[in-house]
Structure 1
Amino acid sequence: MKKKRLGLLILFLLLVNGVFAQPDIELNSFREPGDFGSVTPPLIPLQSNNTNNSSREDIYSYLELKDISTGNTINNIHVIISIEDHLTAEEFKTIKYVGEDGLLPLSLENGTYTLTLKVDKLGTPGNDYINSFDVEVEGRFYDTIFMLPVGSVRGIVYDQNGNAVSSANIQFDCSTAYGETHPIITDSFGSFSGSWLPVGSCKISAAYNGNVGYQFVNITHGSLKDIEIVLSKSLVTQVNNSFWYIVYVVLGLLILYGAHFAVSKKRKRIDEEVKDIEDEKKLSKRSEDILKTLSDRERDIVHFLLESNNQSTQAKVRYSTGIPKTSLSRILDSLAAKKVVSIEKIGKMKKIRLTGWFLGKD
């Protein structure tokens, strides 16, 4: 009897198992769109203020990252992602790994966003790529993003005594307009860093309490440059120096112009006097004939008077010709008698002039 009951129980269990047993479920058959296994990390869900998840439409899209200089795919790297929603003004940040295919998967609701992508390769001392752009999402999309090369700078600001300067204002003035070049300030140790600067020449300026300093740096792709800036020039001093420099230049030009004008005027007057002298030195035929009849000393006196604008004093004539005083008086009287010179006594001085008759003017 016991064996019969045991057999019926076993039969009942077999029937129950045959009716209600379910086939095995393969867990791998449940994959969300865009899930490619362990190679591609989870997609980015953009959070929504709407608590009704059933109204949220997830759209899986992909961005292919390429180097703008070479066109090569950028892969096997981590990407720092910043997403700003234009509608809600909310900003979300995350880090994603891009695999061998160079595809960056995104999950975004329909809307307009500003995306900023940053890449820092482990094999370079500085940061490597950046790009910021707007995207309007209306369904699934696939796009190629060309990443712009960047480099990094870190530095310290010192005063003239070699002390580190905290809270100094730092400005980046670069030859190309991309990357992050907004002004910053130094920390309590006088240090600063420009992490995402565009490739090319950058002027990095520091200012504190009216003193300034700067350095020119050539930013290269993936590099990290260390610099020091010494505050040595006062802004007020620079302005004053520039003002006084302009004043000095203007004054110098005025002085040069005045000197040139004075010299030109004097030269013109001298030229006119020389012309008059040369005209007077052009003796008439009468003068030449009279000179032939004069003695050597008389001719010396006449030539001296011609060179002295036709007149001089007896003392100067004696000094220039070397004729003794007693002889000179006698010779002058002889020339006066011949109407070659005229003698005018002014006090104790005697003025000697060539006559107009001798010069051929009378």
Structure 2
Amino acid sequence: MRTSSTIDRKINSLYVHIPFCEHICFYCDFVKVKKPQDPNVIEKYLDKLEFELNEYEDKLDEIQSIYIGGGTPSCLNEEQTTRMCSLLHRYSNKPNFEYSIELNPESVTREKLEIYKKFNINRISMGVQTFDNELLKKIGRIHDNSIAINAYKLIREVGFENVSIDLMYNLYDQTKQNIQTDLNYINELKPDHISWYSLIMKEKSVWGRKNMKVPENDELFDEIVNQGLKELGYIRYEISNYSLGEKNKSIHNMSYWNNSLFAGVGIGATGFEQIDGEYYLTKNEGNILNYKKEFEHLSKEDYYFQIVMMGLRLVDGIDISLDINKEIYDFYKQKIEEKIKDNLLEIVDNKIRCTERGFNILNEILIDFL
């Protein structure tokens, strides 16, 4: 399946999955395991990561970002953290490089933060979820808001100038006042970036396996979140992502949404790679010490749909002045025109994007493109 933009593309970003957690959150369906008592298990996992990175040879030499996620990467001890960062150091020692790591508030320490800085990590993403202590208990988090606030202040004190926090809405018994409380803390702390997602009950989560349901307040809370963040000076640039100014948009996340190639290492990690001009989705399947990369070949139609699915998440949408996106516009022209008539899509400045109404029902729009 060759199209006009398939030859000699470079991998743009790298995702590294650390599956270990001190505690398993009820809503999480990412690949994770309880942190083992035996440190040798983590050492063997890091050995596996090193082997996997070496298999890429020089294919990662031109990446522009690394994101270490989980799981809970910050639950590694100092020695393990140093080893993990050492494995990645060869890629990050370059200008204008975005290097992120996910932290949970309860495992933030000055010592680990200083290790991150030593190895060029320059962006922290901290999972707060909410600043309401009662809601934190209900969703199974083991920190409270004072721990999150103190961790945030320590991150700033150590010298990190690019800090993102993750929040959730549509939680159990959550009220408009709870959302306003979160907005008040954002106004006080002023993180550079916010990812604020609606709780979705995933089948593989603890709650999902129990068939628990979430309240149906998505649109109400979405409106409150968007208006509240706008008033605080944040730019919404993707369905669930907001930045204080253009410079704080996540370079790494943008690579997922703008049709860049990315690699994933570690159990459960996914990627989007090109081999001999053909596109593949990759996923590491197996268990933490014995997994292998599975490849799913994308047909032309699959590839086009992926670009639409990811690109319409962006507020700016899909730039149809680019050759590959022109092909997509021609391929889906009838469907696009139907959605424009329904006031769900629009073309502005040569970009196909969702209208405000369309943004709220993006999944329904995408079903018609399948």
Q: TM-score, normalising length from structure 1?
A: 0.17
Higher helix share: 2
Higher strand share: 1
Q: Which structure has more RCO (C-alpha within 8 Å, separation ≥ 6)?
A: 2
